[in-house]
Amino acid sequence: MKQPNSNTHTPSPLSVQHLSMRYHHKPVLTDVSFEIPEGKTIAIVGPNGAGKSTLLKGIMGLEPNIEGQASFFGESLDKKRQAIAYVPQREEIDWDFPINVLDVVLMGRHGQLKLWQRPSQLDIDIAEQALKDLKMWDFKNRQISQLSGGQQQRVFLARALAQQATLYLMDEPFAGVDVATEQAIIELFKELKLQGKTIVCVHHDLNTVGEYFDWIIFINARLIAAGPVEEVLTKENLNKTYGGRLSLLNDLTEQMYRTQLNKAHDTD
């Protein structure tokens, strides 16, 4: 017998089927398939060069896929573009570009505008609210080169927020940011989750992955494991993902042990 609600079941915000990608004839990702739940925070985790950013770019169609596809809420990317906000890695952005903070955030509204249209007052209000949400209001007229790394990251998150998407794909939002920004991102995640939105992040810090995310996708050239944190954050999966890098792995287990100790102390 079929599940009673299998027909009314809403399609997953992001479902990847048999995705393979190559870079200069070298396979980077092979046959990756997964499906994520709605309204959760999901981390893509793996060692350097494992293809985490490539996976995100392949999903967004920014780099050509050899095989496979991604569907969003059961539909193709072109039909759902406005519902998906992409936050590129901070290093990929030209921070010397002559543009101020508010204009960057307004770019989140450009997808909704016709060619000749200028942002309306509503667009500006939405952008300004996004800046306030990320506590960047005071910087709205700054040129982006005059911001710290964390502030730059918050500007890009505000841009994604202004797009009013339902699925957020972020490439290493926590990389090299200060404590205040890390807190601001966590707050943002909570707020977005309350609104039922889904967040997928490439994440590199195993110390925080269990704390910040509900779900983990382990990647190392292929899919190692995907599932809720409590099920997949195991020594075995870490071994499979980071295998061969023993010294690193030892450090990681030690770090994990320590964070668990800290947590134990915190709860005391």
Residues making contact with other proteins (CB under 8 A)? 57, 60-62, 78, 81-82, 84-86, 88, 92-94, 97-100, 103-104, 107, 110-111, 113, 115-119, 143, 163
Assigned token pair, 118: 């200028």
Closest distance between other proteins and the C-beta of residue 103, in Å? 7
Between 106 and 232, name the residue whose CB sits nearer to other proteins.
106
DSSP string, 18-33: EEEEEETTEEEEEEEE
Between 85 and 206, name the residue whose CB sits nearer to other proteins.
85
Closest distance between other proteins and the C-beta of residue 119, in Å? 8
Closest distance between other proteins and the C-beta of residue 22, in Å? 14
Closest distance between other proteins and the C-beta of residue 242, in Å? 28
Single out the residue of 82, 81, 25, 30 nearest to residue 55, CA to CA. 30
Closest distance between other proteins and the C-beta of residue 192, in Å? 18
Between 76 and 250, name the residue whose CB sits nearer to other proteins.
76
Between 94 and 266, name the residue whose CB sits nearer to other proteins.
94
Question: In 3-state terms, what secondary structure has residue 78?
Answer: helix
Between 94 and 268, name the residue whose CB sits nearer to other proteins.
94
Between 123 and 214, name the residue whose CB sits nearer to other proteins.
123
Single out the residue of 136, 158, 157 nearest to residue 147, CA to CA. 136
Closest distance between other proteins and the C-beta of residue 107, in Å? 5
Classify burial at 137, counting beta carbons within 10 Å of its beta carbon; exposed 0-12, middle 13-18, buried 19 or more.
Answer: middle
Task: Give the number of other CB atoms < 10 A from CB of residue 176.
Answer: 12
Rounded Cα gap, residues 212 and 189, in angstroms: 9
Between 33 and 117, name the residue whose CB sits nearer to other proteins.
117
Q: At what angle do helices 149-162 and 121-133 cross, to 10 degrees?
A: 140
Closest distance between other proteins and the C-beta of residue 171, in Å? 10
Please give the order of strands across the beta sheet that includes 26-35. 26-35, 15-23, 67-71
**Integer CA distances (angstroms), 113 to 13, 31, 82, 109, 155, in order:** 24, 37, 11, 7, 20
